[in-house]
A and B are shown apart, each in its own frame.
Chain A
Amino acid sequence: MKRFLFSTAFVCVMFLTASLLFNSPAETNPSSYKGVFSGYLSSEPSNLDPARGVDVNEASIQAKIFDGLVRYDEKMKLVGNLADSWTVAADGKEFVFRLKQNVFFHNGQVMTASDVVYSLNRILDPTVGSPRTWVLEKVEGAAECLRGEASTVSGITALDDYTVSIKLIAPFAPFMSLLSMPACYILPSGNAHEIADRSFFEKPAGTGPFKITDRVRDSFVKLTANKNYHGQKPHLASMDIRIIPENMKAEMEFESGNLDMLQLYPANYERFKADPDFSSRITDVPSLNVFYVGFNNQVAPFDDARVRRALNMLVDREKIIKAVYQGRAIPANGSIPPGISGYNKDQNGLEYNPEEAKRLLKEAGYSISKPLTFDLYQRSAQSAFEITRLLQGEFKKHGVVINLKPMEWSALKDAVSKGEAPAFYMSWFGDYPDGENFLFPLFHSSNWGAGGNRARFKNDDIDHMIEESVKIQDNARRAEAYDRINRKVAEHAPWIYLWHASESYLTSSKVNNMDFTPMFFCDNALTLTVND
């Protein structure tokens, strides 16, 4: 027995010793700036390389530590960031940026045109393997670089230390919007070696308003105010951004006073809204998104526009929005959400109309005795079931049978991209605030599958209209063109257009002036203050 007790104690002591040997770094931060904001992300921002990032959580950290040439401010207005000013050639094919001087990276290096050229070149460097090559694919020489035929992109050049020119192969009016994306954030070319072996991205140095001073993966990221920031300086001393994957856990942490912000979901929204202690601190933010049920337009029964239109008319959007979102969404009449160019609130002829739907279904050969039956692929998550089960119930009343196929996210994306899913419940969140982002990837035939056009929609006229619209330099005229395309696509009803949902946040009583922007990378916490 003694020996047994001894061995047990020995094992435990070994573990404790081993665990002490592998201790994690401790926090350090002396700062004269005021207040610490405690926020959280739902997943680890494992990759902070702007050229490789596609994740929202990663981008929200990147946005605070890096800068691009231009950015969208809190009011969604395009403003200069590292660029002081810029000119666009009359033919819309050349952009010349005049850079700010005396801008420093967090590691003390000076930012110059060569950093801009280096960072943009990286996106198109095949050895980097960036998933965002499409951001710069219209730049002169991009294709050659991607194919490995050129080592640098001929269309991106430094005219002098503080002037950069970018030439496009054809006019592309939304280009400035694309340049605001996290992919185009500027890195210090002096660290090219560490950037290439990716060790740089453990605690990357950008020019942004905050710098990473501590980080434990899967636990937290500590951001400290950059006192040398070139723009309006942040009010905060620092931000503790924790990684909390469970909504319920985040809720507990918020209520315990350990978080200053909580994202609300339909499941907990009503509880907080009904509580007078919290209700005044809830902010609903219209987000640039569209929720939809996509059809594979190439396979029966969804190759028949009558069926697609009829199913649109069976959805009482207002009713579902009220039931699930407590009214915090706007029925979609197309793919473009309110707040960006091309949105139009006019009806599209696909509104709730069960009688017309029944007529169309009958015409297509379906009835109560011969019901339309199909599989609806969806994510295996409570938030998806809340919608799909409602749709299933509503459709059943009208003789349409939906079999739900819940799947894990990676498997769902794979099945949908390969065209294996006849119908699928999904959403699209904007990458940049321009109507083109809700038309070209989603409905142009060159983007079938993983490119974004998961409905495999193909229409030559619409392809042509999209291609022409991006050449229009005048914003108002381009918005009109987007609107025309948006309505024309809706005539074909490639999806069931559902809604544009708002996101809701609850803040602690210590927080003031928090900017909630419709785009995840527009908020760089410059105005935010926290009272101790």
Chain B
Amino acid sequence: MLEFTIRRLSATIPVLIGILLIAFIVLYMIPGDPAQTIAGPRADAATLARISEEMGLNQPLYQRFSSYLSRIYHGNLGDSAVSGKPVLESVIEKLPYTLKLAAIAMTFSIVLGILAGIISAITQGRWLDRVCTVFSVTGISIPVFLSGLVFLYVFAVKFRWFPTSGFRADNTLMPFILPAFTLGIRSAAFLARIVRSSMIEVLNQDFIRTARAKGLSPARILFKHGLVNALIPVITVIGLDLSSYLNGSVIVETIFDLPGIGRFAMDAILQRDYPVIQGIVLLGALVFILVNLVVDLLYAWINPKIRDEMLGKTAR
């Protein structure tokens, strides 16, 4: 397991450099001059030149990239071109909001999704399965900005069960419930579909029939033999969702006023605040890589056959 972990970790460095390079080139190519954003609507040529120089925009791309890499190597993500605040400091300030949101959304998504998927699988073709299917298809189809606004209007404005925003959401979880539900419902729906199909597949296999023939209790068959074997695709989906939640949801954070990473990233993109965009891309990529690593380790843990294959050992 240790060898596997080390091998996976060492592969992350070229991936990170690749991601940074792509982000760099994309930023270089998109229209919009960061110097003009900083300079405002009335900027003379000299001011623009001065700001460009200060931001290093005059240097050739390779030079900018190499000095950026060397800065990162020294643990410096740079300062925001707009506020002058260190990028890392801002990210740390915004992280708790995104973490809380991600944790609650993930909990919603896992509990609701797996439950609905199991119910669907064991009542396959019957009315309960159909009800779950209708809910999950609806959940997948409705865009977050719409469901967010509807939940906000119904549960916060009309019924007043929840606060309308995350304004001063420091010490309480209440303002996070509605946004987390909005965020989690979509992946819960998706998860329900995956759990249903992989459970149905597993439950139709020979070893389940054998287990039934042995007289094992239905619950034991379902959870010990059924669910565990259906987990691999489920963990993949959870891993991907978790990575994207940890990178912040622009729409949910905007609708519910949560000052998390997603909004920070969006503002930076609109203002062409290069150091912030690059910092967030880097940290986002790290999160994706780490979560994927954890997912791979979980695969190997759940199914030793996978670990052997990953290490190049022949499975028998």
Contact = CB atoms under 8 A, between A and B. Distances in A.
Interface of A: 1, 3-4, 7-8, 11-12, 15-16, 18-27, 43-44, 46-47, 49, 52, 54-55, 126, 129-134, 146, 198, 201-202, 216-220, 242-246, 248-249, 252-253, 255-256, 258, 407-411, 413-415, 417, 428-429, 431, 441, 446-447, 449-452
B62 interface: no
Contacts of A449: 45
A47 B90 CA distance: 13
Identify which of A11, A21, A49 gathers the most chain B CB atoms within 10 Å of its CB. A11
B123 to A, nearest CB: 20
A55 B42 CA distance: 11
Contact of A23 (B47, B171, B259, B270): B171
A335 B231 CA distance: 67
Interface pairs A-B: 3 shortest CB-CB? A54-B40, A410-B32, A15-B103
Interface residues of B, number: 74
Given A252-B157, A410-B32, A131 B38 contact: yes
B43 A46 contact: no
Contacts of A431: 42
Nearest to A258: B164
B257 interface: yes
B293 to A, nearest CB: 14
A4 B156 contact: no
A462 B246 CA distance: 57
B38 to A, nearest CB: 6
Nearest to A23: B170
Nearest to B103: A15
Contact of A408 (B46, B270, B298): B270
Task: Please report whether the interface of chain B is mostly helix, strand, loop or mixed according to DSSP.
Answer: helix
B32 A15 contact: no
A451 B42 contact: yes
Nearest to A131: B39
Given A15-B99, A20-B96, 7 more contacts: A15-B106, A19-B95, A54-B39, A129-B54, A258-B164, A413-B41, A414-B32
B46 A146 contact: yes
A134 B50 CA distance: 13
Interface string B155-184: 011001000111110110000000000000
Contacts, number: 194
A20 B34 CA distance: 35
A244 B51 contact: no
A246 B254 contact: yes
B137 interface: no
B33 interface: yes
A4 B231 contact: yes
Identify which of A44, A219, A413, A441 gathers the most chain B CB atoms within 10 Å of its CB. A219
A133 B84 contact: no
Nearest to A48: B83
B198 to A, nearest CB: 14
A146 B51 CA distance: 13
B110 interface: yes
B151 to A, nearest CB: 12
B272 A249 contact: no
Given A7-B298, A217-B93, A410-B33, A244 B164 contact: no
Interface in B78-114: 79-80, 82-85, 90, 92-97, 99-100, 102-103, 106-107, 110
A256 B32 contact: no
Interface stretch (B126-134, B186-194, B220-228): B220-228
B100 A15 contact: yes
B259 A216 contact: yes
A222 to B, nearest CB: 9
B149 interface: yes
A47 B38 CA distance: 10
A122 to B, nearest CB: 14
